[in-house]
Amino acid sequence: MSFIILIACIVCLVLLITWAKLNPFLAFLFVAMLAAILLGIPLQDISKSVNKGIGDTLGSLVIVIVLGAMLGKLVAESGAAQRIASVMQKIFGERNLIWAMSLTGFIVGIPLYYNVGFVLLIPIIFSVAYRYKLPLVYIGLPMMASLSVMHGFLPPHPSPIALVMQFKASMVVTFGYGIIIAIPAIIIAGPIFSSTLKKIPSTNTLSLVVEKKEEELPGTTNSLISSLLPVLIIGVATVLSGFGEANSLLNQILNFLSEPNVAMSLTILIATYTLGIRTGKSLSQIMNVYGEAVKDIAMILLIIGSAGILKQIFVDSGVSAEIASVLSSLTLPPLLLAWLVTAVLRLALGSATIAGLTAAGIVYPLTLQNGVDPNLMVLSIGAGSLFCSHVNDTAFWLFKEYFGLSMKDTFRSWTVMETLVSIIGLIGVLILDQFI
């Protein structure tokens, strides 16, 4: 019965948003409360689940998204995004821009969490698309594919690193295998797939494109360093912390700096000068830019928070555990079973991280009983955690709202891309298993 209720709630959510044209925030809220009642959560506990769902989701994302939006707006207003787009065109040529976008997402995605990389790179995507009159999804999807793959497959991202620890895998070996699998996944789901989406229209309302004259643009070095400063701070701090003593003062400082919230806060302080005051803007003008950035993403934050509510209802009601229990009884090869359990949990819960960590507890005994390579088990679960992102995933709404897409086109582009990444990742794991 729980499965039927879960499917019915997701179908109802899609219909409310697409057919009834209800605001997504309200649709999530209504469906989540209905699901809680139907799934038997005591009435006095429903509000607790609602508060926990929106609080946990926004608590981990709101600072990063807001500061990222502020930085993105400043990068656009200052002309830094335009400068970077121009440099990329000179290096790669207009024909190879989507490959350049994939490479940028790949590099940025190694140290940065998906949401940080997303809001950081959005202005560059918009600027490239505007400057060369190219479709926004065609240019942006390859970069998003790279970011998503790095987030789902590879340490030091939250879910992969937790899985490495839980399965007692090797960080270095998992990273190496992950790169082997990630490259074909990025190529197929990124540049190759995006070339089929050139006709998807975009009606974005976010004012992230500001065309300036060449002499008004900041320098190339200033533009690159200021825009990618969170990558540099997190990357350098993470690498250096590996060489120091675990509890030393230096390592504590480095670990502090490698936190996305801290890195983004420090970046905003520095960029306020390098891309703001230094380029002739007054502090009040810069604050106005930041204020407009927050207005742009207010509804996005509400939608993301409400998606967290539905996820929490499914967790608190025990549906996720019920699904996992049924799937774990199937007689399938361990790596395939791990992917399948994770993929179903991803469909139900939305969160890639939660799906991966929940699945890990279920399939861990398989590693001990069958002698499965723990590094491949980490990657199989990571691939499954990216499967079929849809309306209960916060990343789905980030992509939809920033790119100004309809629900149909978001499914055609984002959801299909994530599914391709997941399936290609599974195939890569199964092939590697034959040679290891």
Distances (CA, A) of 254 to 95, 115, 241: 40, 21, 6
pLDDT tens digit sequence for 342-389: 898 888 878 787 788 777 767 776 666 667 889 999 999 999 999 999
79 lies in a domain?
no
pLDDT tens digit sequence for 295-342: 877 887 887 788 778 878 888 888 767 766 676 677 788 899 889 988
Sign of the CA dihedral running 209, 214, 216, 222: positive
* Among the listed residues 195, 200, 188, 94, the one whose alpha carbon sits nearest the alpha carbon of residue 149: 188
Residue 65: CA atoms inside 13 Å, Cβ hemisphere, count?
A: 25
165 lies in a domain?
yes
Range of the domain at 334: 159-171+318-436
pLDDT tens digit sequence for 191-204: 999 999 988 887 65
User: What is the reported pLDDT for 119?
Assistant: 78
331 lies in a domain?
yes
58 Cβ contact list (under 8 Å, min separation 6) = 301, 304, 305, 308
User: What is the reported pLDDT for 343?
Assistant: 92
252 lies in a domain?
no
Using only C-alpha atoms, the chain has a radius of gyration, in whole angstroms, of 22
Q: How far apart are CA 433 and CA 416, in angstroms?
A: 26
* 24, pLDDT greater than 90: no
* 209, pLDDT greater than 60: no
1 lies in a domain?
no
395 lies in a domain?
yes
Which of 76-90, 119-133, 153-167 is predicted least confidently? Answer: 153-167
Q: What are phi and psi of 363, to 5 degrees?
A: -95, -5
Higher pLDDT, 432 or 155: 432
User: What is the reported pLDDT for 261?
Assistant: 86
Q: How far apart are CA 397 and CA 414, in angstroms?
A: 10
2 lies in a domain?
no
230 lies in a domain?
no
Report how many domains make up the chain: 1
User: What is the reported pLDDT for 369?
Assistant: 60
Residue owning tokens 């609602």: 50
User: What is the reported pLDDT for 365?
Assistant: 64
* 292, pLDDT greater than 90: no
